[in-house]
Structure 1
Amino acid sequence: MDERIRELDDKLLKAYMDYAEKILDEEEYQYIKNKMSVERANLKEKRSEQETKLKEMELAIKRFHAMADKLKKYTDSMEFSQELVKELIDEIWLYEDGQRVEIKFKCQDVFTDAVIDEFIEGGDVCDDSTLSEVVGG
């Protein structure tokens, strides 16, 4: 992407030189300049979006490793202690009907989330069975 931006910069400079040497008229130069400027701006925006996604993924991986490190001390025991529950669970909702309980965990599967995000952003349409195959469910 950076190489394409540099290439556009070079072409824009060449177009300006051609305009200065009267090889291109002003209308041709402006057309080329506008077209390349738009493409350059789009590439820079995409690069910025990719850098943001990369930082978000790195942060999610750090969070995952931090949670995994916290949970290592519980791997020897198969019992659920109050301490373990506090490490794993953020909130618990008990409903008045007595039939439903919802649990919000402190951790999430950052790798599955990343795959789902990429799959959705890629424009692919999928049903639940396809999504299960992608995330290994």
Structure 2
Amino acid sequence: VVLLSTLGIVFQGEGPPISSCDTGTMANCERTFIAIKPDGVQRGLVGEIIKRFEQKGFRLVGLKFMQASEDLLKEHYVDLKDRPFFAGLVKYMHSGPVVAMVWEGLNVVKTGRVMLGETNPADSKPGTIRGDFCIQVGR
């Protein structure tokens, strides 16, 4: 929740919120944060990535096209601060605009991870976002 507020994604509207999880059970209804990194924005992959999540039946409940500050990125990646690649990651993520999104749906966290693929694109299967579009770890 802190991450969502620091990214400035605001949920506003009148009346009851619309949910993609109105199927009689809310037990596995979840929300997850997905960011399209600067190279994905530069390469024009935003629409394709959104399309894949929508086709899976998930609902986009927040989206912000933004240039993330270094302070925000350091806060977002705080769990990686002691890793040797941390400074390079922050520099890369600050190198261009990102698309910050929040998706909602049944089991969206687990399914979203499968849809994204492995962190290392070489280990990602064809049909996953990283398997189809990524060449280098972290990009």
What TM-score results when the alignment is normalised by the length of structure 2? 0.24
The structure whose Rg is larger is 1
Query: Relative contact order (alpha carbons < 8 A, sep ≥ 6): 1 or 2 greater?
Result: 2
More strand by share: 2
- In terms of fraction of residues, the more helix-rich structure is 1
TM-score, structure 1 length as denominator? 0.24
